Amino acid sequence: MKTDLHLQSDIMEELKWDPRLNAAEIGVAVKTGIVILSGQVDSYSKKLLAEEAARRVKDVKGIVENITVQLSGSSQRSDADLAFAALNALKWHNAIPDKQIIVDVEKGWLTLEGTVDWQFQKDAALNAVKDITGLKGITNQITINPRINVPLIRESIREALERSADIEAERIIIETSGNKIILRGKARSWGERNEVERAVWCAPGVMEVEDDLIIAP
């Protein structure tokens, strides 16, 4: 297990490695494996990229993201303009049922609402709009239609985990509570934990995932 100092150094190097980021804009602190990101960037997409970079580093146990977005003059856009851009981005993505999604923009902050059938559609909606110039932040409040057969879904998730070459399925415990999937056990890395969550969200009807996995290499 890396020391906090070693982990901090690795995250700073990972930030430098991504050419889309200016590592000097982002502060990194680490306390008992928990990473605190701070600083100021000029776009919401860079804020997401910094968090993704930290997640890629081995032995990261958690992330506190305190990065702020300060738009330059040329990036400033009206809320109406941002809403129009978001609607267009959703419309031209063939994986998104755009007529089921409502966009709301207030002071540069975009909120997505509506109902879809699959988690990948909710994720696709976020990915479609996250790079729009002028956004200060996004809240994804899209919900998923509840249609879950608990015994069947638990078995399907178990089989999906066992098929994955990147997951030690025997270390993962799957519990259910209505339409919520609860994950317990141990993951070898933050990346494996994310892969487990991704596999679970691929199951139809899952509305919530409570990830209680512990990072234990």
pLDDT at 147 over 70: no
Look at 84 and 2; give whichever has higher pLDDT.
Answer: 84
Per-residue pLDDT tens over the stretch 17-56: 999 999 999 999 999 999 999 999 989 999 999 999 999 9
Q: Does domain 150-215 have CATH number 3.30.1340.30?
A: yes
Considering the chain, what percentage of its residues have pLDDT values greater than 90? 56
Residues of the chain with CATH 3.30.1340.30: 4-69, 73-144, 150-215
Q: Does domain 4-69 have CATH number 3.30.1340.30?
A: yes
pLDDT at 145 over 80: no
Domain 73-144 maps to which CATH number in 3.60.21.10, 3.30.1340.30, 3.40.50.620, 3.40.605.10? 3.30.1340.30
Taking residues 138-154, what's their average pLDDT? 79
Candidate from 101-110, 116-125, 133-142, 163-172 with smallest mean pLDDT:
163-172
Question: Where on the phi/psi map is residue 20: left (φ > 0), alpha (ψ -120 to 50), or beta?
Answer: alpha
Residue 154's pLDDT is 78
User: CB-based contacts of 112: which residues, under 8 Å, 6+ apart?
Assistant: 86, 101, 102, 103, 125, 126, 129, 138, 139, 140, 141, 142
CB atoms within 10 A of CB 128: 21
- Cβ distance 214 to 186 under 8 Å? yes
Measured at the alpha carbon of residue 159, what is the angle toward residues 155 and 160, in degrees to the nearest 5?
115
pLDDT at 67 over 80: yes
Residues in the chain: 217
Per-residue pLDDT tens over the stretch 84-111: 999 999 999 888 998 999 999 999 999 9
The rounded distance, in Å, linking the Cα atoms of 138 and 111 is 6
pTM more than 0.75: no
- Cβ distance 130 to 49 under 8 Å? no
The rounded distance, in Å, linking the Cα atoms of 27 and 39 is 5
Measured at the alpha carbon of residue 207, what is the angle toward residues 201 and 213, in degrees to the nearest 5?
55
The rounded distance, in Å, linking the Cα atoms of 157 and 141 is 24
